[in-house]
Amino acid sequence: PEAPAAKPTPPPVPAAPAKPTPPPVPAAPAAKPTPPSVPAAPASAKQSLTIIMKKASGSLGVDLHDVAGRVQVRRLKDMPEGVPHPAKTAEPPLLVGDQVVSVNGNTYTGFKDCVMKIRASTETVTLVVERDS
């Protein structure tokens, strides 16, 4: 008896073409250390001051003006020779740029009202002002 015929082996399956290897992915940059946080200063840091002034010759020796509905010291006037300047001798002194918040404990409704309250004061005027710090 004859040995059974061997089955023919199928031809080899060609290998799939090799896929090109993608270039290596660059490593992510090292994270920079976060600096310690510093609290941000308020946009406009202001301090509130109470200034008691004595009028000289019926005046505080300042020019005031309206800035967006607030009364602000525009300039210090010249005083007669020998007359102490009320704004300069007040403690703390009144400065150009100070914004008046109240006059003698009373708020005001506008520039004219503020000026009227100052003029109506007798010898001493108490101003609360805001000052950029």
pLDDT tens digits for 80-118?
999 999 999 999 999 999 999 999 999 999 999 999 999
Q: Which residue, 122, 14, 111, is CA-closest to 63?
A: 111
Provide the pLDDT for residue 128.
97
Judged by average pLDDT, the poorest of 19-28, 42-51, 75-84 is 19-28
Provide the pLDDT for residue 34.
56
Tell me how far apart the alpha carbons of residues 26 and 5 are, in angstroms, rounded to a whole number: 59
Tell me if 78 sits within 8 A of 52, measured CB to CB: no
DSSP class of residue 44?
T
Query: What is the average pLDDT across 118-128?
Result: 94
The mean of the pLDDT values for the chain is 84
- Amino acid identity for residue 13 in this structure: V
